[in-house]
Amino acid sequence: MSRRVVIITELIAPYRVPVFNALARQCGIDLHVVFLAETDPTQRQWLVYKDEICFSCEVLPSWRRRVGKHNLLLNRGMDAALRRVSPDVIVCGGYNYVASWNSMRWARRNHVPFFLWVESTARDFRSNHALIESLKTRFLRGCDGFVVPGKSSFEYLNGYGVPEEIVFTAPNAVDTQFFETRTEMVRRNAAAHRPALGLPCRFFLFVGRLVVEKGVLDLLEAYGALAPEIREGIGLVFVGDGAAQSELRRRAAAITPGSVQLAGFVQREELAAFYALADALVFPTYTDPWGLVVNEAMACGLPVTCSSAAGCAADLVEDHWNGRVVCAGDIGQLASSMDELARDGELRSRMGERSRARILRYSPDAWAAGMAEAICSAKSRRLQQWADNLGVAALER
């Protein structure tokens, strides 16, 4: 007998569609996804690949307002959507929307197990405001179980006193097969793709939003600190848009010799070509719950230099094995890693192959298996004892 499962998540993100498709294929899972919005035009430029969706879903009516860094998203129809589906289990992706609280209240009224899909880490930029912490703890106490993508989020929940036996791991994944296939195609005809994209013969690659908290200014400074003969032979390419774009362009103009290119935002199909032609991915973020660009780069066989602040670092990047893990904000470490990778082609190749081998364990099917394990563990609502302990642990933090 199949379990009717509702997953509640914010957007129709292209990197989520493959993992939801994989979960829908799991035996015994009847999946329905409730999206709080189709996209966020103020922050996201990606295409919505609706033709690739192979699971039941709906988008709730919504109203969005962004004030500075704060995102207010209000929805109508959550209770009605849950009533129509009548789920056996609810998995909610986050606690910072009114719809998340509505879904928890509905689960309580209807005695439906309620899981929280948590990607937060202790290194996230968070206000730690007393009111926010109080609300967060209250939400955590209302959950029957938790799903995390990896070690950093697991440790985050452990800090709130959540028992290990109700935390399940569904490893964050992208469509590794897509990126691997596209990479092989591009590399077979690199001589044509490189000039078509205007890329240098060799380059370090950054992919993500061009904002200060992603470490992009640090990356540019580290590139400028490389020896002139290194910069003559290898460039730096930024893929993405954001508030720091103008400042990056201004500072890059002062770096000579060297080649710094801002390619802007690119869609999934073209993005694979940037990975395929790069020497390495550099991801020096100050804060990131995970960093799926690291998954993508590893699927394309790249070594990765990643800050320890990225949620994925503890699971995906092993220092001196398939890349380098550096401290966020340490420009000297960043430059040293880039210098090492720029000079040693055999090291890049060896690390790249290790990346490709490791990321096989982080496939959509692996995510689906972890999520299905959590769903199948769900029973009637749990005893309150652990939740009471959670409140004590939060006060002691």
Report pLDDT digits (tens) over 264-321.
999 988 999 999 999 999 999 999 999 999 999 999 999 999 999 999 999 999 999 9
For the stretch 249-279, what's the b/e string if a residue is b when 16 or more beta carbons lie within 10 angstroms of its beta carbon? eeebeebeebbbbbbebbebebbbbbbbbbb
Mean per-residue pLDDT over the chain, rounded? 93
Q: Report the C-alpha gap between 124 and 60 in whole angstroms.
A: 28
Nearest to 68, CA basis, from 42, 46, 94: 42
Token representation of residue 156? 């985050």
Mean pLDDT across the stretch 141-160?
96
Classify 345 as helix, strand or coil.
helix
DSSP string for 35-61: ES-S--TTT------GGG--SEEEE--
Q: Report the C-alpha gap between 287 and 293 in whole angstroms.
A: 14
Residues 34 and 4 sit within 8 Å (Cβ to Cβ): no
For residue range 322-333, what is the model confidence (pLDDT) as tens digits?
Answer: 999 999 999 999
Q: Which pLDDT score is estimated for 125?
A: 62
How would residue 383 be classed by pLDDT, with cut points 50, 70 and 90?
very low
Q: Which residue has the higher pLDDT, 123 or 203?
A: 203
Q: What radius of gyration, in Å, describes the C-alpha atoms of the chain?
A: 22
CATH dotted code for 176-359: 3.40.50.2000
Query: Is beta strand 70-75 parallel, antiparallel or unpaired with respect to 62-67?
Result: antiparallel
Q: Which CATH class is domain 3-173+363-396?
A: alpha beta
Q: Which residue has the higher pLDDT, 144 or 397?
A: 144
Which residues belong to CATH 3.40.50.2000 in the chain? 3-173+363-396, 176-359
**Residue 122 predicted with pLDDT over 90:** no
How would residue 378 be classed by pLDDT, with cut points 50, 70 and 90?
confident
Residue 328 Cα to chain centre, angstroms: 17
Q: Angle 303-237-320 (CA atoms, 0-180°, nearest 5)?
A: 20
Nearest to 206, CA basis, from 261, 287, 251: 261
How would residue 128 be classed by pLDDT, with cut points 50, 70 and 90?
low
How would residue 389 be classed by pLDDT, with cut points 50, 70 and 90?
low
Residues 210 and 182 sit within 8 Å (Cβ to Cβ): no
Q: Which pLDDT score is estimated for 386?
A: 52
The runs of H, that is alpha helices, within the chain are 17-24, 78-85, 98-109, 130-141, 151-158, 176-188, 190-197, 216-225, 228-233, 245-252, 268-277, 292-299, 313-316, 331-343, 345-359, 364-377, 385-396
pTM of whole model > 0.85?
yes
Mean pLDDT across the stretch 217-230?
98
**Residue 382 predicted with pLDDT over 70:** no
Q: Which pLDDT score is estimated for 22?
A: 98
Q: Which pLDDT score is estimated for 381?
A: 46
Residues 152 and 124 sit within 8 Å (Cβ to Cβ): no
For residue range 20-74, what is the model confidence (pLDDT) as tens digits?
Answer: 999 999 999 999 999 999 988 777 778 888 999 999 999 999 998 877 667 789 9
6, β-bridge pairs? 32, 90
